[in-house]
Amino acid sequence: MSNLDELIKNSRYAHKEMKANLENDAETRWLNKKVYESRQLYQGDRIENVELIGTGTLEISKDIDGKNNLLLTVNTKVENVNPRPSAIIKIKLNREDLSLYNRISLWVYPKATGYQNFYFHFNIGNNGNEQVHAPSLEPNVWNHVIWEIKDIERDCVNYISINPGLMGCPPEAEPTLRVFVGDIIAEKVDVDYDEGWMLDERIAYCHSGYFTNANKVALTQQANNNVFRIYNNLNEVVFIGKVEKVITDFGSYYKMDFSEFKKDGEYYLQIDDRRTHNFLINDTPFASATWKSINFLRMLRCGEDVPGVHSPCHLNCKSVHSDGRSVPNYGGWHDAGDVSQFEICTAEMAHAILDLADKVKDIELKERLLEEGRVGINWLLRTRFGDGMRALAVTYSIWRSNILKPDNKTVLSCVAENGPFENFCATAALAVAARLYKEEDPIFADWCLRAATEDFEFAKVGYEQGIHTKRWGPNIDSQVCGEGILAACELYELTKDELYITIANEYANIVLSCQQSIMPDWEIPIRGFFYEDPNHTKLLTYEHRGHEQTPVQGLARLCEVAPNHAHYDNWKNGLELYREYILETFNKTEPYGLLPAHVYDVNKINMARFTVPSTYGTQEKAFEDLKNQIRTGLKLNEGIYLRRFPIAIQRRGYHATLLSKAKGITSVAKVLKDKKLQQIAIDQLEWILGKNPFASSTMYGEGHNYHPLYVAFSKQLVGALPVGIKTLGDHDAPYWPTINNAVYKEIWGHTTGKFLWVLADLCE
C-alpha cells in the first residue's frame, strides 16, 4: 500500500482527522538546534516582579510537577462581554540587554477541561519595537515555546508579556483556565534564513513531486560536483544530470534539471552529500496535497461536530436583513483562524471544489469533493434572503454556548448586504452545483438553478444601479464584470438561453476596455494587465485576497461556451494580451519562476483597497509608505514599477494573490492550448510546496520543513495553507520568519480554494 493509499484509508477519505508527521516539521528542527549561549530570565518561582493587566488572579503554585511555577487563573466565558477582556502577564526585565541572544525559550502549561487548543500572544522587545509571537498551545501538557528574535531591537528590554487568548467557552468546556509559567530563557542559536532569495546549501524543490510530462527542476547555491543524481526508493541511481550554473538578478545558482526523466515513481535527488526527501513523479503529484486540503476543509466546517476540533458551533448566530428578517449563518467553513466567514470566499471555495470534482478521474476523490462542495453550496442557499440581500461578512469571533440570551447582541451584529460581486460569485457556484448534482439529487440541483438565476438578476441590476457593499466599497468594473461573464456562462451551459451570452458579451466589452491593450510609451513597455475601470484611473491590484483571475477567467469561459460568436476574436485577443503580459514578466524572479505581483503607478493608488489599522497612523502616512514600497520594485517608467510582491500596510501574505493570478493563467492556457503558460502555473504551486528560498513547504503536514501556522481557535490542521509568504518593511523580497502571527501565517480557506481551483485546470 502506498503512503497516499494509507493516508486515504486511515482518514476514511478525509472524514477522520489526518495527523502530521512531526519529524518533518520545522518546529522539530528548531527545537533540536544547538544552543551556544543562554541566560535565565525567569524561573516561575517569584511574583514580586510580575504584573497582571486585566482580568484573573496571579499566584505561585506547586500544582504541576511539585515545583514552584507562576499561575494565572482566568475565566474564559467572555461571550457578550464587550470589550472582550484580556489577561496579560508582564514579567519585568528592567531594561535587560539581550543583544547577544536571538531566541526566546519558555515553558507554559495551560490547564483546562474541554478545550482542544489555546493560542497565546508572547511579546518581547524594546519599547516601541516589540514583536508578537502567537503560537497554538496544547492543553494539559508542558509546551516548549521558542521563537527567534533577531529582527527586533533588544538592547533595552523592559518586559516579556504572556497573554492567553480568551476565546470563549464552547459547550463541551469548563470556563476556568489555569496557565502555569515555568522557565524563560534567552538563547543564542544559528538562526533561520528568513528574508530574501538566497538558498546557500539548501535545496529548493517541490516536496510533493512533479508531473511526468512537465518541467522538473531543483535549485541550490552550493555544488562541489558538476553532476547530480536521482535515486529511486531502492536507493538505485536512475538518472544522472549535469548541474547548470545560472546567473540571475539575485546572484548565482545551480540548477538541476531532470525534466527529461519521465518514469513514474518515488525518488530523491542528491548532490554532493546533500539529498532531498522523497518526492513523486507521476500524472497526479499533488494528490496527497489535494486530499490533505480536503481534510483541512473538513476541519474548518462550522455548525457541526468536528471530532478533535470542536462540537457543533455558532448555532445561535444570525445575519440580519434591514427589514428585520434574519437567517442562521452557521455552516459552511470557518474562513480563517479567527473563525469568521465571508460569502465571497465561501462561493469561490465551493466553485473551486466543484470544478475540481468535475475534472478528476479518481471516482473516490470526485465523490469526496462533491460531498465537501455541498457544504459551501448549502451555506450560500441558506444565507440568502431572495431579494439580493445575503449574509456577507460573518464575525463569530469566539466559541459560544449556543444559548441565545435576550441581551446577546453580538450574535445579531452581522448585517446582510446586497453586492453585485457577491451575487455573481454565488450565481457561478450555484450554477455549477446545479449541473454537477443534477443526476444524484435533481431536487437540490433545481433549487441551485433557481437561486442562481435569481441571484444573477440581482447582481446585474445591482451593478447597473451602482449598488455596492459597505465593507468592500465601490465596485471594481474589471472584477465584477469578469465574474459576471463567468456566472452568465455557467447559466448558459445549463439553460442554453442566448440572453446570457448577450449579457456576457456586454460585460466582456467592459472587461476589455479595462485592459492595457496599447503598448505604453515607457522605458520598459509592457501591456496586457488590467485596470479597475474603463477609464484606467486605478490599476487592478490586490493586497491580500486575490481576484486577479476574474477578468481573464470570465473571458476564457466565454470562449469555451461560445466559440462561434461574432466577437470571439475580441475575447481571444484579450487572453492573448494577458499571455503577453505574463510572458514578459514571469522571468523577473529567476531562477524561481515566481510570478511578479502587479504593475503599480504611484499616482494611481486606490487607498480604498488597502487595510490601514487605526493604530497605524494617518491615511497620508499610509499613502507615502505604499509609494515607498512601490519604488523598491522594478522600474518600468517614471513613477511606474513592477513589484515581485504586492504592496500592503497590514494584510501581508501573498499566496492568494499569487494563486488567483495562477488561476487566470491556467484559464488562458486551456483556451490557447499553451503549455508554457501551464508550466508557469505549475511553478507557482511548486513555490508554495517547497521550491522557495526557505526550502519550506507552506502547507502544514505536506512535504517537509513546514512551519506551525496561526490557527488560533483550532489546533494545527493538516492540509492548511496560510495567507502566505510575506515581505518585510518596504522590501520587495520574500520573508518567512519563525515568528507565528496573523495574518501571513494565518490559516485561510480562501487560499486553499484558489489552490484547488488551479489544480482543476491542471487535471485536464
CATH number of 195-282: 2.60.40.10
Q: Which residues contact 756 (CB under 8 A, 6 or more apart)?
A: 290, 293, 349, 352, 353, 356
Q: Is the pLDDT of residue 496 over 90?
A: yes
> What is the CB neighbour count within 10 angstroms for residue 66?
7
Provide the pairing of β-strand 118-126 with 136-137.
antiparallel
Cα–Cα distances in Å, from 641 out to 248, 628, 645? 19, 11, 11
What digits encode the pLDDT tens for the residues 347-358?
A: 999 999 999 999
What digits encode the pLDDT tens for the residues 163-213?
A: 999 989 999 999 999 999 999 999 999 999 999 999 999 999 999 999 999
CA-nearest of 306, 166, 8, 135 to 716 is 135
Q: What are phi and psi of 516, to 5 degrees?
A: -80, 95
Quick check: helix, strand or coil at residue 422?
Answer: helix
**Is the sign of the CA dihedral 124, 125, 129, 133 positive or negative?**
negative
Q: CA-CA distance, 97 to 101, in Å (whole number)?
A: 9
**Which three cell numbers mark 515?**
485592459
> What is the CB neighbour count within 10 angstroms for residue 266?
16
pLDDT for residue 120? 95
Average pLDDT over residues 638-644: 96
**pLDDT over 90, % of the chain:** 86
Quick check: helix, strand or coil at residue 732?
Answer: coil
Q: Which residues contact 644 (CB under 8 A, 6 or more apart)?
A: 588, 589, 594, 596, 597, 633, 634, 732, 733
Q: Which of 235-249, 317-331, 601-615 has the highest mean pLDDT?
A: 235-249
CA-nearest of 407, 414, 401, 373 to 313 is 401
Q: Is the pLDDT of residue 361 over 60?
A: yes
What are the boundaries of each domain within the chain?
34-188, 195-282
Rg of the chain on CA atoms, in Å: 26
Q: Which of 22-26, 236-240, 715-719 has the lowest mean pLDDT?
A: 22-26
Superfamily of domain 34-188: Galactose-binding lectin (2.60.120.430)
Provide the pairing of β-strand 318-320 with 414-415.
parallel
Quick check: helix, strand or coil at residue 257?
Answer: strand
Q: Which residues contact 6 (CB under 8 A, 6 or more apart)?
A: none
Q: CA-CA distance, 507 to 764, in Å (whole number)?
A: 27
Place of cell 499616482: 603
The model carries a pTM of 0.96
Q: Is the pLDDT of residue 406 over 80?
A: no
> Which residue would you say has higher pLDDT here, 65 or 733?
733
CA 564 distance to own-chain centroid: 38
Cα–Cα distances in Å, from 501 out to 485, 493, 671? 8, 10, 18
Q: CA-CA distance, 209 to 212, in Å (whole number)?
A: 9
Q: Is the pLDDT of residue 84 over 70?
A: yes
Class of residue 59 by CB neighbours under 10 A (exposed 0-12, middle 13-18, buried 19+): exposed
Average pLDDT over residues 286-292: 97
The kind and range of the H/E element at 125 are: strand 118-126
CA-nearest of 676, 519, 485, 682 to 582 is 676
> Which residue would you say has higher pLDDT here, 260 or 407?
260
What digits encode the pLDDT tens for the residues 314-356?
A: 998 899 999 999 999 999 999 888 888 899 999 999 999 999 9
Q: Is the pLDDT of residue 397 over 70?
A: yes
